[in-house]
Structure 1
Amino acid sequence: MKHAGDYEDALEKDESRGNRLGVPVAPERLRDLPASRAMWYESDEDLRERLAAGKVRERRLRWVRAALALLCTPREQACVRFYYFGGLDMRSAAARAGTSPATACRDLRSAVAKLREAARALPKDHFDGE
């Protein structure tokens, strides 16, 4: 009959268990790899595209925040901030906004409709420049 201590000893002796998916490689071999073969590689073009996409996303987010302040009621703003920007579920967002979940849901629908209508009035390439 095996005891719990026997299993613990077997686990301690089996050093490969924690490294099942990895393959041991000498550090000098990793240093000699060209950058394009490294574990994490992004070309200059990839980086430029991601940076440009990040800038467009930032401009869109700034527009949404400004439009939210101009077009929406304070309660709608609070619901949008807690639900979309804060990552809260509907019930938690409603509690933080000081309203019921049904009212918060209605406020979110109203705010999104206002923002969507304002966004449709923008030229297609509005966020591309700047």
Structure 2
Amino acid sequence: MAEKIENHLTEQLCEAIASLKNEKQIANFLEDACTISEFKALAQRFEVARLLDEGVKYEDIVERTGASTATISRVKRCLVYGKDGYETALANLKKKHHETRSPRVIRKAKFEKERAERKKAVRENG
């Protein structure tokens, strides 16, 4: 039987995070609440979710993030069968960035994605 995650302590934690006013306050809280490794692992998982959402292949995600295939599979499982936490955060972030990203930044992101695809093609074709 799966362990129930939600209880009064986790609800209190979520309420505390939601009460924070900006990214700096959230970063400060996470730095206090997590070890450096835990904080980095959360950031890595979110980047894996973002890349999976963009359709990037596992091999490229391993190369770009250093995440194990087990971590990538776990994040993928959450994207497919989870409670839409990653999807909600990714959608909110996309909306925020779309409102604030300059055309130059958008072109650079597209270039980086295309460059990663070209590198992969070169690796596959020898």
TM-score computed with the length of structure 1 as normaliser:
0.25
Structure ranking higher on relative contact order (CA contacts 8 Å, 6+ apart):
1
Q: Which has the larger radius of gyration?
A: 1
User: Per residue, is there more helix in 1 or in 2?
Assistant: 2
